[in-house]
Amino acid sequence: MESSTDEEGDRFEAFVRHYLDLNRDLPVILDAVDIDPFIHRSIETYRGMRILNQEVWECLASFILSQNNNVPRIKGMIRTISARFGEKIALDDSIDYAFPTPRALAEAGVETLYDCGLGYRAPYMWAVSSAVAAGEFDLEALKHMPYTDAKQELMGLKGIGEKVADCICLFSLGHVQALPIDVWVKRIIERIYLKREASIREIREFAEDYFGEYLGYAQQYLFHYARTVGLEDLLTSEG
């Protein structure tokens, strides 16, 4: 019979494996999408990179804050609302704060969220927090939905469009066929593959057909290479 310590250890291991996406067969995924010189260079450079399965509420709220924003400002907003509305966490002499719950943000009110520097995102954050806190939007049910259903549910929330919904599906719900299309992904597909400007719909249709069921992993490797090393460097892969 397992002791409580063993059970806690098993739960922690299961959590870590899920969070780091270790239960998915990465070599199989990479073999499936390694279909041209561009993605091949990206994979060889960053082989082993996985897509995290982040906690749903924190992921959803963070991507609301990410809209028309840069990473330092996003981090600053998250730090501010966590310090004001999150639970204090102390370890020895270190103090930090947990990400605030939906109820804490809902009770804070729109004006207080404006005061935290959220800008036009404040009413979106308050509306979504209120819906989750009131049980009008079920995060647990979202985890068990197919990709298309989960995406449509998310897009029904105020302030969440297709790109943010796809981000949540890919980085929290484990839907590795999701394709968040931002300016970088659009630029990559247009310049490397289509050789022309294209609509979001054209980019999505091409990418889904070209990369298949592991599209989310393919775009993440291409995206990371283009942002880290450079798109121009990636374009030389063809030669």
| pLDDT value of position 124 | 95
Q: Are residues 206 and 161 in the same domain?
A: no
Report the CATH number that the domain containing residue 120 is assigned in CATH: 1.10.340.30
| pLDDT value of position 2 | 59
Q: Are residues 157 and 60 in the same domain?
A: yes
Q: Are residues 200 and 93 in the same domain?
A: no
Q: Range of 217's domain?
A: 24-50+178-238
How many other CB atoms are there within 10 angstroms of residue 152's CB atom?
11
Ramachandran angles phi, psi of 94, nearest 5° = -95, 140
Q: How far apart (Å, rounded) are the C-alpha atoms in residues 153 and 142?
A: 8
- Reduced to 3 states (helix: H, G, I; strand: E, B; else coil), residue 94 is strand
Of 166, 179, 171, whose CA–CA distance to 53 is shortest?
171
Q: Are residues 62 and 161 in the same domain?
A: yes
Element (H, E) at 13: helix 4-19
Q: Are residues 106 and 140 in the same domain?
A: yes
Q: How far apart (Å, rounded) are the C-alpha atoms in residues 135 and 116?
A: 25
5 domain-assigned? no
Look up residue 75 and give its two tokens.
């981090």
222 domain-assigned? yes
| pLDDT value of position 204 | 96
Q: Are residues 197 and 164 in the same domain?
A: no
Q: How far apart (Å, rounded) are the C-alpha atoms in residues 98 and 82?
A: 6
pTM for this predicted structure = 0.91
1 domain-assigned? no
Domain count, the chain: 2
Q: Are residues 29 and 124 in the same domain?
A: no
Element (H, E) at 89: strand 88-91
The catalytic residue among 88, 143, 158, 163 is 163
Q: Which residue among 171, 197, 216 closes a domain?
A: 171
**Any catalytic annotation for residue 163?**
yes
- Bridge pairing between strands 94-97 and 88-91: antiparallel
Q: Are residues 195 and 234 in the same domain?
A: yes
Each residue's pLDDT, cut to its tens digit, for the chain (239 residues) gives 556 777 888 899 999 999 999 999 999 999 999 999 999 999 999 999 999 999 999 999 999 999 888 889 999 999 999 999 999 998 888 889 999 999 999 999 999 999 999 999 999 999 999 999 999 999 999 999 999 999 999 999 988 999 999 999 999 999 999 999 999 999 999 999 999 999 999 999 999 999 999 999 999 999 999 999 999 998 888 65
11 domain-assigned? no
4 domain-assigned? no
Q: Are residues 137 and 202 in the same domain?
A: no
Of 186, 237, 177, 176, whose CA–CA distance to 50 is shortest?
176
Q: Which residue among 130, 153, 171 closes a domain?
A: 171
Q: Are residues 98 and 139 in the same domain?
A: yes
